[in-house]
Copies of this chain bind each other. A is one copy, B any other.
Amino acid sequence: MFSAADTTFMAQAIRLAELGRYTTSPNPNVGAVLVHNGVVVGSGYHRQAGGPHAEVSALREAGIAAKGATCYVTLEPCSHYGRTPPCAEALIAAGVARVVVAMQDPNPQVAGRGVAMLRSAGIQVDVGLLEAEARALNPGFLSRMERKRPYVQLKLAASLDGRTALANGDSKWLTADAARSDVQHYRAQSCAILSTATTVLADNARLNLRPEQLQHSVTALQSGELRQPKRVILDRNGTLDHKLALFNDGGEVLLCVSKVENSRPLPNIARQIHCPLDSKAQFDLVALLEHLALRENVNTLWVEAGATLAGTLLRLNLVDELIVYLAPKLLGNTAQPLAVLPEFTALAQVPELRWTDMRMVGPDIRLTATVNHTATGVTG
């Protein structure tokens, strides 16, 4: 069904889609390439919600050369009127002869209808080329659509012996500048950051995006395209003073409370969101993640918190990926742990990971791992 040339052009569409990773959410990253007689006549990617879709950019560039061309697109063309007219209609109108789609759109508003619309117009549609690679473009969007929760990335920083701070709390600076700058790149790609009042209070943390710490290739994005992620703060007891740096800088602050108090004055930047309590009178994090996906359009959630929240998310199997900065230090057995977990009695019970990447980040090592959700009993 697919030729080597098909694969080459789809790979090009995937690389184009990646260019949107700082700007496209809550929409998916999508790339498209139009090819006529073996020559690329148009290409594009979806850059910002409300802006042109990838196929439309490619069609504009191709002009009349689109007639009889093949369109390679990383996600099924949309079939519905949203902020823009349906791409399937545009492809039909342009006279495209064939559409190669990497993956069907999981959005229930599309879900096969785009393909059907194209086929009923007589266009040859082939689906499934480089599907795994196309899925990897949009872990957050797919998680929100398919699992009704964000893709959760847990950021950790520890010594080689897995300690985050000395017994007295000293952790400045466990990792070096390069690791902190690297974190900024993750924040810049995240829809929201999850943390706790305890963490905010400990460092008067802002948990915001500091563009001056980003690499030039990112800051070269046009003004307004980089967005401040929302800060989602678990604040059970409403302890956060409005003078904290958190409220003076950065994106919106969503204060998770078990009971919304409309009468309570809040900084302009902040609002309360309701999070139910579980049977142990703790925040129901499963419910919170569903709320963030369905109500706040959070594709990717970046977690920066202490060992307790980290451990709870891991125990509930809510973590999809760990990003760990390992400092070349040993803090010893009295120092603070990486994750508070229940006591296990057999190695078969412990959370299992799979290493996916390792690299130097300045003097520190960054390890990434995915969580093997089938290993433990609970499913997120």
Interface residues of A (CB under 8 A from B): 158-163, 166-168, 170-174, 307, 311, 314, 322, 324, 326, 328-335, 337-347, 350-355, 358, 360, 363-365, 367, 369
Interface centre among A159, A341, A350, A364 (most CB of B within 10 A): A350
Contact B333 A160 (CB under 8 A): no
Chain B residues with Cβ below 8 Å from A334 are 341, 343
- Chain A at the B interface: mostly helix, strand, loop or mixed? loop
Partner of A360, one of B160, B173, B331, B355: B355
Contact B353 A328 (CB under 8 A): yes
Interface centre among A170, A311, A340, A354 (most CB of B within 10 A): A170
Closest to A168 in B: B345
Contact B337 A161 (CB under 8 A): yes
Shortest distance from the beta carbon of A172 to any chain B beta carbon, whole Å: 7
Chain B residues with Cβ below 8 Å from A345 are 166, 168, 170
Q: Given A158-B161, A158-B162, A358-B358, verify A171-B333 contact (CB < 8 Å).
A: no
Bound-state CA distance A170–B346 (Å) is: 6
Contact B161 A347 (CB under 8 A): no
Shortest distance from the beta carbon of A306 to any chain B beta carbon, whole Å: 12
Bound-state CA distance A367–B326 (Å) is: 11
Shortest distance from the beta carbon of A363 to any chain B beta carbon, whole Å: 7
Contact B347 A328 (CB under 8 A): no
Contact B340 A332 (CB under 8 A): yes
Q: Given A160-B367, A171-B347, verify A328-B341 contact (CB < 8 Å).
A: no
Bound-state CA distance A85–B110 (Å) is: 85
Given A328-B355, A331-B344, 5 other A-B residues pairs in contact with their CB atoms under 8 A = A173-B347, A311-B333, A314-B330, A329-B347, A355-B364
Contact A328 B159 (CB under 8 A): no
Shortest distance from the beta carbon of A315 to any chain B beta carbon, whole Å: 9
Contact B367 A344 (CB under 8 A): no
Contact B338 A160 (CB under 8 A): yes
Closest to A328 in B: B353
Q: Given A333-B340, A352-B329, A353-B329, verify A347-B170 contact (CB < 8 Å).
A: yes
Bound-state CA distance A159–B350 (Å) is: 10
Contact B324 A160 (CB under 8 A): yes
Chain B residues with Cβ below 8 Å from A340 are 332-333
Contact B355 A332 (CB under 8 A): no
Chain B residues with Cβ below 8 Å from A171 are 347
Contact B358 A332 (CB under 8 A): no
Contact A341 B346 (CB under 8 A): no
Chain B residues with Cβ below 8 Å from A314 are 330
29 A-B residue pairs with CB within 8 Å:
A160-B338, A161-B162, A162-B338, A166-B344, A166-B345, A166-B350, A167-B343, A170-B346, A314-B330, A328-B352, A328-B353, A328-B354, A328-B355, A328-B369, A329-B352, A330-B341, A331-B341, A331-B350, A332-B337, A332-B341, A332-B342, A332-B344, A333-B338, A333-B339, A333-B340, A354-B363, A355-B360, A355-B365, A365-B367
Contact B353 A160 (CB under 8 A): yes
Chain B residues with Cβ below 8 Å from A337 are 161, 332-333
Closest to A348 in B: B170
Shortest distance from the beta carbon of A322 to any chain B beta carbon, whole Å: 7
Bound-state CA distance A345–B332 (Å) is: 11
Chain B residues with Cβ below 8 Å from A347 are 166, 170-174, 329, 331
Chain B residues with Cβ below 8 Å from A369 are 160, 328
